Amino acid sequence: MSIAIVTGGASGIGRAIATSLVHRGDTVVVSDINAEGARKVADKLNTLGRGKASAAPLDVTDAAAVAELYQAVRDEHGHLDLVFNNAGISIGGLAEELTLDHWNRAIDINLKGVVHGVDAAYRIMLEQGSGHIVNTASLAGLVPMPIGIPYTATKHAVVGLSLGLRAEAAGRGVKVSVVCPSFVDTPLLTNVNPGLPETAMSGNATEDIKKAVPRLYTAEKLARDIIRGVDRNKALIVAPAHGRAAWRGVRLNPAAAVRVAQFAVDKVLSGKK
């Protein structure tokens, strides 16, 4: 039985990860800035009759709060085996539509939120000589994704952070993986630029995205991919298959990948005329 923390666990990918972990008998702390949502998820998971779940309110932009929660979980159970730094937000819009507020929010949550989780978890895991840190990035962290470059930039940073840390941690008993999913059917797509100035992509972007990817991957399928990848200690967990194909294409021909991405930009610009 593993002791796990999942940030952003009240919905979407985080909820699906927590569910998969409890299904296999793990003890999971479901954390989220949405405290009520986290509590409802934990309550439901405790009806499965396998693992256990509890809820914890957490703002990942608060480094002290993250460190306090991770240490408290370790102190309560004697060890901390799995940490899924998963919380994030969606930022969309053309570069000229974006403000520094968009950039700062993306950096604070999508990048610094992961940094806070990594810093807290890594210190604990180094001390105990074991553990696995799993950071949620995106396919946008591997390919040139336009119309939301603050999101893209932070996800590239999370990939770099994770792979660099993996190299440092490998000989010290700590494992590190990074998850890079393509578009997944989650609330992230229906709440682009939350609380931020509007752009052409603000609000519900699901229908726009479905024009490019008609069949969105489900969070439940992705969670199974993630758990399988963690069990195999994969460095990069890229899913689904079309995401892996896109990643392969970027590596083989970066210039062509940029030209493909430009088609999406042209579509948006033509729609604004």
Which residues are catalytic, by number? Answer: 151
Please enumerate in sequence order all residues whose Cβ is within 8 A of that of 250, keeping only pairs 6 or more positions apart, or say none.
Answer: 142, 143, 144, 257
CA-to-CA dists, residue 152 to 58, 66, 162, 204, angstroms: 24, 24, 15, 18
- Quick check: 221 and 240 in contact, CB under 8 A? yes
d(CA 146, CA 273): 19
Nearest Cα to Cα of residue 183 among 264, 101, 85, 67: 264
The span from the CA of 270 to the CA of 252, in Å, is: 29
Asked if 89 and 105 touch (Cβ cutoff 8 Å), the reply is yes
Q: Round to whole Å and give the CA distance between 95 and 113.
A: 23
Three-state DSSP at 220 gives: helix
